[in-house]
Amino acid sequence: MLVRDPVVDVFFCVWFFLFGACIGSFLNVAVYRLPRGKSLAYPPSFCPCCGHFIRWFDNIPVFGWLKLGGKCRDCRSPISVRYPLIEAITGIFFGGIFLAAVFLLPEAGVTVLAALTLLTAGMMTVFFGAVLICFSKRSVL
Ligand SMILES: [Zn+2]
């Protein structure tokens, strides 16, 4: 019988949440730029109101938005709650699926759980992204 360390499970759960939030941050970029035919790589993230580039420490998924109170650091114009929401939802896909896998497959090793998490959460994220892009094309978001 395989005995996993709960501390390792919690570590991986938090790690997968943070990893998923980073994927969600990229998803935000893709959802905004792809339907508009813009590059995913350039320019770096910027405020659409004042044009200032977002500093790296303000661009940390979920926490950056919370730290700034949902407003641009430079011009104080509001930043949509959609950004941290998509980051958090994607983070929950990854962290939550890892947590579910821990409980559903208590005999599995962490490598198997991580692989299942990446596969399942990855597919959910692609589907989520496709849905968001469809709504973005309709100008709902
Ligand atoms: Zn601004």
Ligand 1 center to residue 49 CA distance, Å?
Answer: 5
Query: Tell me, what's the pLDDT at 138?
Result: 61
Nearest 5°: CA angle at 61, between 67 and 28?
Answer: 125
Domain enclosing residue 108, as ranges = 6-137
| Ligand 1 centroid from CA 128, angstroms | 28
**What confidence score (pLDDT) does residue 92 get?**
96
Domain-embedded: residue 69: yes
Quote the DSSP letter at residue 38.
-
Distance of CA 53 to the CA centre of its chain: 20
pLDDT of residue 140: 47
Residue 123 belongs to a domain? yes
Q: What are phi and psi of 84, to 5 degrees?
A: -65, -25
Yes or no: say if 105 and 79 are a contact pair by the CB < 8 Å rule: no
Per-residue confidence (pLDDT) for residue 58, from 0 to 100: 94
What is the pLDDT, as a whole number, of residue 26? 93
Q: How far is the CA of 70 from the centre of ligand 1 (A)?
A: 11
Looking at the domain assignment, is residue 126 inside a domain? yes
- Terminal CA-to-CA distance of the chain, rounded, Å? 49
Would 1 be classed as within a structural domain?
Answer: no
Tell me whether residue 46 is in a domain.
yes
CB 49 within 8 A of CB 21: no
C-alpha of residue 50 to centroid of ligand 1, in Å:
4
Q: What is the whole-number distance in angstroms between the Cα of residue 27 and the centre of ligand 1? A: 21
Cα of 136 vs centre of ligand 1, distance in Å, is 22
Burial of 8: CB neighbours in 10 Å, binned 0-12, 13-18, 19+: exposed
Domain count across the chain: 1
- Within a domain: residue 13? yes
Q: Which amino acid is at 46?
A: F
Tens of pLDDT along the chain (141 residues) come to 567 788 999 999 999 999 999 999 999 999 888 888 889 888 899 998 999 999 999 999 999 999 999 999 999 999 999 999 999 999 999 999 999 999 999 888 889 999 999 999 999 999 999 998 888 766 544
Query: Measured in angstroms, how far is the CA atom of residue 105 from the centroid of ligand 1?
Result: 47
Residue 96 lies in a domain: yes
Q: How far is the CA of 26 from the centre of ligand 1 (A)?
A: 20
- CA 76 – CA 78 distance, rounded (Å): 6
